[in-house]
Chains A and B, each alone.
Chain A
Amino acid sequence: MAIEEKKYFPSQTEDEEIFLLIRRHWFDYMIFVFVAFLILILTIGIAWYLVVNQGNLSQVTAVFLIITDSVLILLLLAVELYGFVNHYLDVYIVTNQRLVEITQNGFFNRDISELQIRQVQDVSAHVDGIFRTLLHFGDVYIQTAGERENFTFSNIPHPYTVSKQIIDLHEMALESGEEDSDSEVKKYNEDELEKGLEIEEVEQAAKDLINDPSKTVRRVQGVYIPKKNTTAIESFSKTDDVQLHELEEGKEEKISDK
């Protein structure tokens, strides 16, 4: 009920809802885990050398090795923190009226862009490579009408389902009959002055959505879906595993028919 009645940001119209909140797939973080693993091996090696040769080392050497080990562990933590900030603060928000892309590049570079869902012209999902295929993640390319930059949702889970959701929302928006007029475009450009604030409010809306006390959000592998959005939940529930299960069931029926 809270989601139906609450407005999450001022420019949100009465029928605008947040449909999806997507983070990048966990595999995208694996490079930092690999770096951590290498540093950890080095750290353990130094600690082992220190313990084994405890009696033979001079005071200066022992202190040097202790400090080196400590520096390596702290560097490991720092690298992981940097990687986590880069990975986890990239968020894609899909409402039934707009797409918001938030990209964190390092500590001091944060890009936020948004696109009206009616400006979407073509949506395609792209999955390539063995890991992406096995782990069900990839890119969604959103081509826009006009001279606007195209959107890319990189390394997100279930790209096919997300692209289908965006297409469905786009069609719903077109069917609603609210076509862009010149006055609307002009108004939007004026509103761009306050764009930063509005997008922050979209972010706040997403925070509220996740933290909703009525637990009206269901999380499916990094994709957050309001529970009332039953179509999306059904789509996301139909992962390849489920389809495989259905195929197996079909096969069993076929065998039993024989």
Chain B
Amino acid sequence: MTITILVIAYALFVIAFLIFSLIGNYHLRRFGYAGDLTKPVILFYTVVSTAVIIATILAIIYKSFGA
């Protein structure tokens, strides 16, 4: 039960994070200049965020069911 609450809280945080990220990346995409650092930053941010979220989900699954 406690783990379920933790996971739900994390899911809500991730949703808020995704909305924030979309807004931030939109600004970089909209106002960035071609050839500048905005596109590499968008790519780096997206890859690292996705990796962190996937790794967290896998770790939670492993701790809850795999151990």
> Chain A interface (Cβ within 8 Å of chain B)?
59-60, 62-64, 66-67, 69-71, 73-74, 77-78, 80-82, 84-85, 88-89, 91, 104, 107, 110, 203, 206-207, 210-211
The binding surface of chain A is classed by DSSP as helix
Q: Is the CB of A74 within 8 A of B17?
A: yes
In the complex with contacts A88-B37, A89-B27, A74-B52 CB distance below 8 A:
yes
> CA A78 – CA B25 in complex, angstroms?
11
List 4 additional contacts besides A63-B3, A81-B25, A107-B27; criterion CB under 8 Å: A62-B63, A74-B53, A88-B38, A210-B33
In the complex with contacts A59-B64, A66-B59, A107-B23, A74-B49 CB distance below 8 A:
yes
- Count of A-B contacts with CB under 8 A? 91
| Chain B residues bordering chain A, tally (CB within 8 A) | 37
Partner of A85, one of B24, B59, B60: B24
Residues of A within 8 A of B33 (CB): 91, 203, 206-207, 210-211
Minimum C-beta distance from A169 to chain B (A): 22
Minimum C-beta distance from B11 to chain A (A): 10
Residues of A within 8 A of B53 (CB): 70, 74
Minimum C-beta distance from A122 to chain B (A): 30
Residues of B within 8 A of A107 (CB): 23-24, 27
Residues of A within 8 A of B14 (CB): 74
Minimum C-beta distance from A216 to chain B (A): 13
List the A residue with the shortest CB-CB distance to B48. Answer: A77
Minimum C-beta distance from B30 to chain A (A): 9
List the A residue with the shortest CB-CB distance to B30. Answer: A89
Q: Is the CB of B27 within 8 A of A210?
A: no
Minimum C-beta distance from B2 to chain A (A): 5
List the A residue with the shortest CB-CB distance to B51. Answer: A73
Q: Is the CB of B27 within 8 A of A60?
A: no
Q: Is the CB of A81 within 8 A of B52?
A: no
Partner of B2, one of A60, A66, A85, A206: A60
Residues of A within 8 A of B38 (CB): 88
In the complex with contacts A70-B53, A77-B45, A78-B17, A63-B6 CB distance below 8 A:
yes
Per-position contact with A for B13-41: 1 when CB-CB < 8 Å, else 0? 11001001101110110011111111001
> CA A91 – CA B20 in complex, angstroms?
23
Minimum C-beta distance from A183 to chain B (A): 35
Partner of A60, one of B3, B20, B36: B3
Minimum C-beta distance from B58 to chain A (A): 10
Q: Is the CB of A211 within 8 A of B34?
A: yes
